[in-house]
Amino acid sequence: MISDEEFLRIVSFVKSRYGIDLHGKKAIINGRLENYLRRGGWGSFSAFMNDVEKDRSGDLEKTLMNYLTTNHTYFMREFGHFDFFKKEVLTYRTTVSSLDSYQDAVAEMGETSEWVGYPTGNGILYNEMISITPLGINHASEAKEGAWAFLEFLLSENYQGRKTGFPVRQDSFEKYLEQTQMFNGVVQIELTEKDKEVLQSIIDHAYWMQAHAPYEVFHIIYEEAGAVFAGDKTSEEAAEIIQRRVQLYIQE
């Protein structure tokens, strides 16, 4: 268990180097680092921080920041984390690309949570959609006919019906939701009608992000917005801090 002195040392280190305030996050710091320190053979948080500060390669510092600022899948796997998440977290951003990832998200957020999407000026909520593998045809290509045939195959019902993730065709997507996922004869995933409604709503209100900010910039915005929702900062204060932190990130 991390001591108060060790906690303040990590808070000061992260604040001075990255501008991220972890005051009040003692349980999170302990939960995210404790098992890693144990596996690495460090007898205490102080011993680990000594090595972080002496490591000229910067690898340990990167590892520290990854554990403290990234939504690793193994965070939320301990009962204490589930309890903290369900009682304390107001908003949470997650990625859903298949039935597996959807059920993982439901398990992390709890059955009483709701999917709301991002607010907009017209009052309609939307979900961010990012294409992992965008495809196109070069206007100068001399094989446009073959390229079109390949794209037509990728969008065909035959191909889309074999995907493990969400199909892009509406008819294939509807069939995908009706499938019971089996493994070795055992039911792994079987959606309820509510699950199907949620997933269809996510798709119906999806907005294609043709370009999006780097993860680091999004994380800065997400963190400062959380402070506004928690009542710790005004929106004006958060906007100024976001501007300074993003500018610092760009300069680095």
pLDDT values of the chain reduced to their tens digit, one per residue, 252 residues = 899 999 999 999 988 887 777 877 887 788 888 888 988 899 999 999 999 999 988 888 888 887 886 544 444 444 454 455 555 556 667 778 787 777 777 766 655 667 777 777 777 778 877 776 777 888 888 899 999 999 999 989 888 887 777 888 888 888 888 775 544 444 455 677 888 888 888 888 887 765 555 667 878 888 888 888 888 888 888 888 888 888 887 776
In a domain, 140, yes or no: no
In a domain, 63, yes or no: yes
In a domain, 55, yes or no: yes
Number of domains in the chain: 1
CATH number at residue 9: 1.10.155.10
By residue range, what is the domain housing residue 45?
1-70
In a domain, 41, yes or no: yes
In a domain, 95, yes or no: no
Q: Is the pTM of this model over 0.85?
A: no
In a domain, 176, yes or no: no
In a domain, 29, yes or no: yes
Name the residue with tokens 């990130």: 249
